[in-house]
Amino acid sequence: MRLRGAAVASTVLVCAAGLLAVPSNAQAARPKSLAEIRAEVNRLYRQAEAATQAYDAVTEKIDQQQKELVTLARAVVAAQSKEAALTQRLGALARAQYRSGGGLPLAAQFMLSSDPGSFLDDAGLAEKGAHAATTALNELRTTKSELEGYANAATAGWQSLMDEQSQKADTKRQVEQRLAQARALLGTLQAQQQTRLRRLDDEAAYQSQLSWLRNGAGAKLGSAAGTASALGARAVAFASAQIGKAYEWGAQGPSTYDCSGLTEMAWAAAGVAIPRTSQEQWARLPHIPLDQLRPGDLVIYFTDAGHVAIYIGDGAIIQAPRPGRAIGIAGAGSMPILGAVRPG
């Protein structure tokens, strides 16, 4: 019994020692440094911006699908109306042929006719009627085929629209989730820390811009960059008038904008339609060398083309940066540049 008691006591001591050796959660959870919080917040904002561009793309696609469905619906109504008119016309032709004895062969009708000359005139009319009936019947078959095609297209379009709306809702949740996480992280900081965080962001942007101006394409802007075209100047004027307005994801103005919403509307003010998202602006607009930037050109950022701004000259851009920040001027090289495009 003593040996058993000693063993139990030893076990308790070993377990207690083990518990003392394992740090508690409070001890293990080291507070994040300001630099770590900044990196995490920036990562979340980048993810939110990428999701925002996906949301914008889906929204644009849904708008186009809705227009196509309206066009299809009108085509279906027109085809149904034409089908009804042709059916009525064929019915009238059939009744007229029946009343004229069209059920008998022409030779038999000729033999039974009391006035062969009049019959021949009537036969000519009957032949024209038969031709009209054949034409109407062929037209009806074509119309029915078109109607079936329109109906199938409308059904497929409707299903596609439902799928896109579901994707839009999912993407919206992704954006809101990332933004909520970023707000929660920022909410752990005191006012003084938030000020320091903003200074860290500004310093990083400044150093990036300085490097670009000294060593990158920005160093050649003075000699190679052109002056704004008339359209480019109008786009820049519009963007300049939006300075101070708030960033809002998915917005295209007039009081708030996201990054691509601002560039799209700036060029719309110049009378030029460009794609809605930064990815499509990068994919579909003409690329230009960075050392040939001129006011009005669009600068595309990050490897996923997830951000865009409008170049205004002297190495500067106007951008809608991110939630919590207003539209303003920044250095063109303050973020990793993917390339540049020139609308118009």
Task: Report pLDDT for 125.
Answer: 47
Task: Report pLDDT for 138.
Answer: 73
Q: Are residues 247 and 321 in contact, defined by beta-carbon separation less than 8 angstroms?
A: yes
Mean pLDDT across the chain? 79
Task: Report pLDDT for 218.
Answer: 78
Task: Report pLDDT for 165.
Answer: 80
* pLDDT, greater one: 340 or 36: 340
Q: How far apart are CA 287 and CA 289, in angstroms?
A: 7
Task: Report pLDDT for 118.
Answer: 53
How far is the CA of 104 from the CAs of 84, 90, 108, 155, in angstroms? 29, 19, 6, 46
Task: Report pLDDT for 20.
Answer: 39
Task: Report pLDDT for 204.
Answer: 92
Q: What percent of the chain has pLDDT over 70?
A: 76
* pLDDT, greater one: 333 or 136: 333
Task: Report pLDDT for 99.
Answer: 57
Q: Is the pLDDT of residue 190 over 70?
A: yes
Q: Is the pLDDT of residue 124 over 60?
A: no
How far is the CA of 161 from the CAs of 29, 63, 156, 251, 276, in angstroms? 47, 9, 9, 21, 19
pLDDT digits (tens, 9 = 90+) for 100-123: 555 545 444 444 445 555 544 554
State if pTM tops 0.85. no
* pLDDT, greater one: 220 or 205: 205
Structure tokens belonging to residue 105:
């062969």
Q: Is the pLDDT of residue 94 over 50?
A: yes
Task: Report pLDDT for 115.
Answer: 52
Give me the mean pLDDT over the 78-92 stretch.
72
Pairing of the two strands 256-257 and 246-247: parallel
* pLDDT, greater one: 10 or 145: 145
CA angle 192, 194, 199 (to 5 degrees): 95
Structure tokens belonging to residue 93:
């032709």
Task: Report pLDDT for 225.
Answer: 62
* pLDDT, greater one: 261 or 149: 261
Q: Is the pLDDT of residue 339 over 90?
A: yes
pLDDT grade for 281, boundaries at 50, 70 and 90? very high
pLDDT digits (tens, 9 = 90+) for 300-318: 999 999 999 999 998 999 9
Give me the mean pLDDT over the 3-18 stretch.
41
Q: Is the pLDDT of residue 9 over 50?
A: no
Task: Report pLDDT for 296.
Answer: 96
Task: Report pLDDT for 78.
Answer: 77
pLDDT digits (tens, 9 = 90+) for 215-253: 877 777 765 566 889 999 999 999 999 999 999 999 999
